[in-house]
Amino acid sequence: MDLKTLTIKQARKDLDAKKYTAVDLVSAYLEAIKEKNSNLNAYLEVYNDVIAQAEAADKRIQNGEKGELLGIPLALKDNILVKGRIASAASKILENYVATYDATAIEKLKKSGAIFLGRCNMDEFAMGGSTENSAFGPTKNPYDTSRVAGGSSGGSIATVASDIALGALGSDTGGSIRQPAAFCGVVGMKPSYGRVSRYGLMAMGSSLDQIGPVAKTIEDAEIIFKVIEGKDNFDSTSKESPIEKRQNKKIIGVPRKILEEKGISEEVLKNFNESIEKFKSAGYEILDIELPRISYSLSVYYILMPAEVSSNMARFDGVKFGTLAEGETLTEDYMKTRGTLLGKEVRRRILLGTYVLSAGYYDAYYGKATKVRSLIKKDFDEAFKKVDAVLMPVSPTPAFKIGEKTSDPIEMYLADIFTVTANLIGTPAISIPSGFTTGELPLPLAIQLIAPYMQDEILFEIGKDFEKLK
């Protein structure tokens, strides 16, 4: 079997036609992992019962059971809980933490018969855009190992891009699925806020986080999405999928003003304009739209997200959760545990968040940011009265070199300029491969589509139309 061209859809057909078994399929992936992972550092752990999982899936197939993901090998981001397995969030503080229950998304995948290959590297507690903040070393880009895979779901994305998983789960707080997907040439989706349960996902920014699918094609991403989505009693923010689906009238909005921002590479802009022409050739109308306050998104995000981080990280103190580094007193215990076992970026965001929530600064920063967030959402609501989706780049540049931005956190944060908005306003967004840079080692480029809230299906419709044009 050719893992490079294999998709979930094709593997499903092959398994049902008895061309090979689930054991054969996962064995091929385990061999590929042995060959490639030491160079990429995409998996932190390959599970020791993968063959046993595949044998159970084969029995279900032999018994006539059907299911899109039955016997399909997937990779998981290390901040999603799987009962009885380590979930470290790529942090030393949780290096030996064993989950006591399944995340809802995991429970649904287990019922569907999916096979879990292992847990993937990520930026520590999902804080970062390059997977360089992992306590276990960076994940490398499969197209050029001197470059980052992106983050924070870099490991999940690299497994799919390098054919050592057929699909994966990531989490997206400000672009953490979409940006690495763009850097590695695969499809990555952030569902609408509430469309997929967050129960069992380690919280970073509770009003921003979403679990989402990673795959080679739009169709494969949709298959995973359909299994994991839906209301969950364990997550009060989760919602049922809407009965009424919005009709795709083939109108795409382009906010031209944001494309005038400094720092966008010429190759990204050229590819973006070529993608617009492709949409036109598929019968889409391209409409220039105004999103007056979108330029404030990054500032708003980097106030609200650290505030939520500060609150959510309070539980990791070595007592309630995590390894304890003992000191002379209780205060020293906390200081030593959090000071030595949490990475620099995590500590930076906790400090920032604590500051903006502190007395005297709450109204000046957090309160104002919350109001501007509502105004940005209003701008998009107005735009969606005229268009079916908004089109933007995913990242201002292709994948950058490992170590290139680590000394300048602000430069790293600026790379999120196109992705954070969808998390702030709760809308679904998807990264779709759209070509490559020129040069000795061509690097993947991507476009991003944002659809109205809870109308995730429009992204799949438009995405499939775009894929056909390649």
Domain ranges of the chain: 8-228
User: H helices within 248-296, ranges in order?
Assistant: 266-281
CA torsion angle for 412, 414, 419, 424 (degrees, to 10)?
Answer: 110
Out of 88, 176, 310, 431, which one is annotated catalytic? 176
Which candidate, 325, 328, 327, places its Cα nearest to that of 341?
325
Q: How far apart are CA 145 and CA 197, in angstroms?
A: 34
Q: Which two tokens stand for residue 40?
A: 């990429």
CA distance 201 to 190: 14
Nearest CA to 136 among 186, 176, 93? 93
Q: Strands 43-46, 115-120: parallel, antiparallel or unpaired by DSSP?
A: antiparallel
Q: How far is CA 172 from the centre of its chain?
A: 4
The pTM of the full predicted model, rounded to 2 decimals, is 0.97
What span, in angstroms and rounded, lies between the C-alpha atoms of 112 and 451?
Answer: 27
Convert the pLDDT of each residue in 171-221 to its tens digit.
Answer: 999 999 999 999 999 999 999 999 999 999 999 999 999 999 999 999 999
pLDDT for position 87: 98
Closest CA relative to residue 107, chosen from 87, 86, 83? 83
Which residue in the list 130, 152, 275, 297 is annotated as catalytic? 152
Contacts of 137 (CB under 8 A, 6+ apart): 41, 121
pLDDT at residue 445 in the model: 98
Q: What is the pLDDT of residue 318?
A: 86
Measure the CA–CA gap between 131 and 86, rounded to whole angstroms.
19
Sign of the C-alpha dihedral, residues 203, 404, 401, 146?
A: negative
CB 179 within 8 A of CB 394: yes
- With a cut of 70, list the residues of the chain below it in pLDDT: 470
Between CA 60 and CA 65, with CA 63 as vertex, the angle to 5 degrees is: 60
Tell me whether residue 77 is one of the annotated catalytic residues.
Answer: yes
Q: What is the pLDDT of residue 326?
A: 87
Position 244 scores a pLDDT of 81
176 is catalytic: yes
Q: Which of 77, 108, 190, 405 is catalytic?
A: 77
pLDDT for 325: 87
Joined tokens for residue 420: 């954070």
For residue 49, the model assigns a pLDDT of 98
Give CATH for domain 8-228: 3.90.1300.10
The answer to whether residue 108 is catalytic is no
Nearest to 170 by CA among 162, 180, 161: 180
Token pair 């009060």 in the structure block, residue = 236
> In 3D, which of 414, 433, 430 has the Cα closest to residue 422?
430
pLDDT at 367: 94
